[in-house]
A and B are shown apart, each in its own frame.
Chain A
Amino acid sequence: MTRFSAFSLFAKALGGHKDWPEQWPDAAPKPAYDAIIVGGGGHGLGAAYYLAKKYGITNVAVLEKGWIGGGNTGRNTTIIRSNYLYDESAHLYDHAVKLWDGLSQELNYNTMYSKRGVMMLAHNVHDIQSFKRHIHANRLNGVDNEWLTPEEARAYCPPLNISPDARYPVLGAALQRRGGTARHDTVAWGYARAAAALGVDIIQNCGVTGIRRGVDGAVEGVETTRGYISCKRVGVSAAGNSSVIMQMAGLDFPLESYPLQALVSEPVKPTFPCVVMSNTVHAYMSQSDKGELVIGAGTDQYVSYSQRGALHIVEHTLAAICEIFPIYRRMRMLRTWGGIVDVTPDRSPILGKTPVKGLYVNCGWGTGGFKATPGAGDLLAYTMAKDEPHWINAPYNLDRFRNGRLIDEAAAAAVAH
């Protein structure tokens, strides 16, 4: 692997950039692997990297039906935060946020993690109660999250409208300073490059079409669009398509896949310093390094794999943005798109073993799994390497839907992202 640095950039520039090597080779499938990851999103690529890096399992393939990072990893609004309420969630997301810090150096790939701060707006007494509950729980869990008055919120984010006459006035905000954004594509590419350097095969245009199980029920291998590959340890990290793949192993899952849209404005000079989320008004926004305002919408109401969404969702989202930030009414929307988010009944992920021996799963991240990318990859790798969950992901098992031990952040706070 050619080390990336200002120096190598300089040196290659003098040669007209003609001898940069491939960041990762375009591998063809081998007949067998020690471990296979289905799904080349950030989570899957991360899992492959940590399998090789931390657990010495390097005979690994990542099978991606399209191009890596082309799923939700490459379609999301990249909000990173860990100020979740329940201990289980705080541990899970903070584990990831800690990995984000230093990830660029670890991967030797600039993931552009920008600790711009994530501010969540309170618009009514219920929001205040709920945010305070989060803040106190976070403080005792060692997760930063602080309460801001409307004036403090505005000082942190000057475009914010804090007029008491607004339809939904801002009564305060919860701010996580370590929260922020990262560049989505580079996370996928950075993991792919680093994993490939450790021997992992990154296999694109290779869709998994079946999961073969032996007489004992355990996984024996996967059928793919590029032939059969034998493997006794398969981790599925396929986001919106998880139900479909688990079906291949005969497993019915508590998942539904919904369209989720996002949009960007035309790029402008720096105008918006942080990430702001308002669950009551249904809008969230940040500004990318390129200058675009990056705006998230809500899910469409029906199950769909079409990666399209309806206009009225976008209309509502922009109305909400203009309510909170009226100065942006003349900004223009440049592009809208949609992803498929896999949602569990308690809106928390499923990360662990499945009833099928040798089959592991990481899914159900819904609208909020980008922030967990390094953590989810690490924990999936751990679980596959040890054949048992790490204590952090142990609560995120399938059994909770039977025994009722749900981890329902949304019910507790009506907070989605």
Chain B
Amino acid sequence: MILIHCPYCDEKRAEIEFAYAGEAHISRPVDPSTYGDEEWERYLFIRANPKGRHHERWRHIHGCGRFFNAVRDTVTDKFETTYKAGEPRK
């Protein structure tokens, strides 16, 4: 069970307090109707799924309730960093 640092609580807590929320920095278009089918498909479904550095979202669901971003290595499962939602991609 991995340990996750919540940037809002500033604490490392056990994974069972958190809910994984998929790849990070996929932002919803301001006006989706301007997206063609292919762009919309990309937004909805295409995921980087890299072997290595992965930008992902977590929610401290049994804690402060906040969504935040993280960089984690998907081969070692180790976190490089976690940061607040809205902060630029790290």
Question: Are A and B subunits of one complex?
Answer: yes
Chain A residues with CB under 8 Å of chain B are 241, 243-244, 252-257, 301-306, 308, 310-312, 345, 401-403
B 14-35 binary contact with A (CB < 8 Å = 1; else 0)? 0110011011000000000000
Instruction: Please provide the 3 A-B residue pairs with the shortest distance between their CB atoms, ordered closest to farther.
Output: A254-B45, A243-B49, A301-B20
Number of A-B contacts (CB under 8 A): 70
Given contacts A311-B1, A312-B1, A345-B44, contact A306 B77 (CB under 8 A): yes
Known A-B contacts A243-B50, A253-B49, A402-B37; the reply to A310 vs B2 at CB < 8 A is: yes
B56–A241 CB distance below 8 A: no
**Chain A neighbourhood of B20, CB < 8 A:** 301-303
Whether, in the assembled complex, B9 has its beta carbon less than 8 Å from a beta carbon of chain A, the answer is no
Residue B54 at the A interface, CB < 8 A?
A: yes
Give the number of chain B interface residues (Cβ < 8 Å).
28
In the assembled complex, which residues on chain B have CB atoms less than 8 Å from the CB atom of A312? 1, 15-16
The contact string, 1 if C-beta is below 8 Å from chain A, for chain B 43-69, is 011111111001010000000000000
19 A-B pairs with CB atoms under 8 Å apart are: A252-B42, A252-B48, A253-B49, A254-B41, A254-B46, A254-B47, A257-B74, A302-B2, A302-B72, A304-B74, A305-B75, A306-B74, A306-B76, A310-B1, A310-B2, A310-B15, A312-B16, A345-B45, A401-B46
Most chain B CB within 10 A, of A301, A305, A403, is at A305
Query: Which residues of the partner chain A approach B11 to less than 8 Å between Cβ atoms?
Result: none
Contact B46 A302 (CB under 8 A): no
A374 to B56, CA, bound (A): 36
Asked if B38 is at the interface (CB within 8 A of a chain A CB), the reply is: yes
Q: What B residues does A402 contact at CB under 8 A?
A: 37-38, 40-41
With CB as the reference atom, state the residue of chain B lying closest to A247. B50
> What is the CA–CA distance of A255 and B16 in the complex, to the nearest angstrom?
24
A255 proximity list for chain B (CB < 8 A): 47, 49
A residues in contact with B47, CB < 8 Å: 243, 253-256
